[in-house]
Amino acid sequence: MLAGKEPARIFLFARNRNLFRRLESKTYSPSGYVGVTGACRYSGVEKGKGGPNTNDGKGSSSQNAIKHGGRSKVLRILAGEDPEEYERIKNGWRAEYGPQGHMQETLVGNLIESEWMLQRARRNRCNAEARAAGDEGREPYLWTAEESHQVELMQRYLTTAERSFYRAFNAMQGLRKDMMRDSSEVGRLELQNVHLSAENSQLRASQQNKPAAQARSTKASSAKSKKPDKIEILDQWVEIEVIDGKTITTLYPSNEELLDEKARMAVPPTLVYRRLNFVDGVPPEYLWTTTDPVTVEFGGLATQRIRLDRWLELIETERASGTGHLQGCEIMPRPEERGDCECESCTRAKARIETEGK
C-alpha cells in the first residue's frame, strides 16, 4: 500500500500529464490557444477565411437565421414586407398624436413598432394554417404533428403581439388623459386669473369715485360688443373599464366640477365634448356608441358632442338612473370654428339638423 499523500501525488501527476498532451496538439494565436485544424471561430488566421467584414455584409448575415420574425427584438422590414405599409402606419400614428418631446416620441414609437409586429404575426398565423391545410383544405385533425405545432406557435406569437400592441396603445391613451387633466387645470387657473384681474379693475374703478351703476353699464356694454374669437366648449374625459366583470365609468373632471368650470367662464360654452375611452373593449352598457366589431372587441375612442342645454338635461337623467353610466343622445357635428369634419357621424348630424330646420 502507498502511505501518506502518495495517492494524491499520483493523481495530480496523471492529470497534469493529460493536460500537457492536450496542449501539445494546440498552437497559440493572438486570440489564445486554438486548434491547428481550424475548428475555432477565430477570424481566419490559420485558414485565411472568415465572415463578412463590411457593415452591410454583417447586417445581411445577421438576418440569415430569421424564419418568420415573430421573436425579433429589432424592428426589421423582412423580405416580402411592404416598406410603404410601414410608412403608412408610422405617419398615421404620428398624425394621430403629434408627439412632442422624448416621452411622447418614445410611446408613439412603441405603438408604431407594436402594430407592425402585430400585422406580421397575423400574416404568419394565416400562412402557417394555409400550409398545414394545403391545397386540399385538410381539416386540423389530419395535420401532422409538426404542422399543428407550427400553427400553435404562430398563434402564441399573435397573442403576444396583440397584448403588446394594446399595452402600447393604452399607455399612449393614458398619457393623453393626463395631458387633458393638466390642460383642464391650467384652464381653471387662467380663468381664475381673468376673474382676479376683473375684480382688481373694479376695485381701481371704485377708488376713482366712479358711480357703480356707470361701471356696471360700461362692463355690460363691453361684454355685449365683444364677440368671441372661437366657440367655447367644456371638455370631459370618460374612462370605461371592466373590472371583475363589472363596468366602471369614471369622469375627468366630474359633472359637478364641469358645472363649476362653466360658471367661471367669461363666455358661456356652446358645446360639451365627452371623449370616451374603452380600455377593455365596449361593454354592453355602451354598445350604443359604435357598430364596429373591432372596437367592440378591443376597445378604442368615441366622442359625444352635445349642446350645452341638452347636456344639462342628460346629466340629470343619468343621475336619476343610478347606474353611473352615460346615456346616448343626438350628437352635434364638429363646428366650423374648430375645423369642419366630413366623417359619417358628422354628416348624419348635419343632415338631421337640416331636416329639423325645415
Pairwise pLDDT comparison (34 vs 260), residue with the higher score: 260
Same domain membership, residue 238 and residue 152: no
Q: What's the whole-number mean pLDDT along residues 264-273? A: 88
Say if residue 286's pLDDT is above 80.
yes
pLDDT attached to residue 228: 44
Contact 258, 234 (CB under 8 A): yes
pLDDT attached to residue 178: 79
Say if residue 206's pLDDT is above 80.
no
Pairwise pLDDT comparison (86 vs 63), residue with the higher score: 86
pLDDT attached to residue 146: 93
Query: 2 lies in a domain?
Result: no
pLDDT attached to residue 81: 86
pLDDT attached to residue 118: 92
Query: 9 lies in a domain?
Result: no
Same domain membership, residue 326 and residue 236: yes
Q: What is the pLDDT of residues 346-356, one digit of tens each?
A: 777 778 777 77
User: Per the structure, how many domains does the chain have?
Assistant: 2
pLDDT attached to residue 351: 80
Pairwise pLDDT comparison (3 vs 85), residue with the higher score: 85
At 52, give phi and psi (nearest 5°): -65, 145
What predicted TM-score, i.e. pTM, was given to this entire model?
A: 0.39
Q: Which of 159-168, 300-309, 341-350 has the lowest mean pLDDT?
A: 341-350
In the beta sheet, which residues pair with residue 242? 247
Using pLDDT thresholds of 50, 70 and 90, give the confidence band for residue 153.
very high
pLDDT attached to residue 338: 67
Same domain membership, residue 328 and residue 253: yes
Contact 114, 161 (CB under 8 A): yes
Among 131, 150, 170, residue at a domain's last position: 170
First to last CA, the chain: 121
Query: 192 lies in a domain?
Result: no
pLDDT attached to residue 90: 92
Q: Which of 200-204, 252-256, 270-274 has the lowest mean pLDDT?
A: 200-204
Pairwise pLDDT comparison (291 vs 201), residue with the higher score: 291
277 class by beta-carbon count within 10 Å (0-12 exposed, 13-18 middle, 19+ buried)? buried
Say if residue 300's pLDDT is above 90.
no
Say if residue 211's pLDDT is above 50.
yes
Query: 203 lies in a domain?
Result: no
Task: Tell me how far apart the alpha carbons of residues 303 and 289 are, in angstroms, rounded to a whole number.
Answer: 9
Q: What is the pLDDT of residues 313-339, one digit of tens each?
A: 999 999 999 988 998 888 888 777 666
Say if residue 263's pLDDT is above 70.
yes
Query: 12 lies in a domain?
Result: no
At 228, give phi and psi (nearest 5°): -65, 140
pLDDT attached to residue 218: 54
Q: What's the whole-number mean pLDDT along residues 233-246? A: 88
Query: 216 lies in a domain?
Result: no
Where is mean pLDDT largest: 128-132, 173-177, 232-236? 128-132
Task: Tell me how far apart the alpha carbons of residues 336 and 230 are, in angstroms, rounded to a whole number.
Answer: 10
Same domain membership, residue 320 and residue 245: yes
Domain membership of residue 112 as a residue range = 83-170
Among 121, 155, 170, residue at a domain's last position: 170
Same domain membership, residue 237 and residue 161: no
Pairwise pLDDT comparison (200 vs 284), residue with the higher score: 284
Cell of 176: 393623453
Percent of the chain with pLDDT over 90: 22
Whole-number average pLDDT of the chain: 76
Query: 76 lies in a domain?
Result: no
Count of CB atoms situated within 10 Å of the CB of 168 = 21
| 333 cis-preceded (ω within 30 degrees of 0) | no
Pairwise pLDDT comparison (267 vs 71), residue with the higher score: 267
Same domain membership, residue 164 and residue 237: no
Say if residue 231's pLDDT is above 80.
no
Q: What is the pLDDT of residues 13-72, one digit of tens each?
A: 555 555 555 545 544 444 444 444 443 444 444 444 556 677 666 655 555 545 555 555
Query: 70 lies in a domain?
Result: no
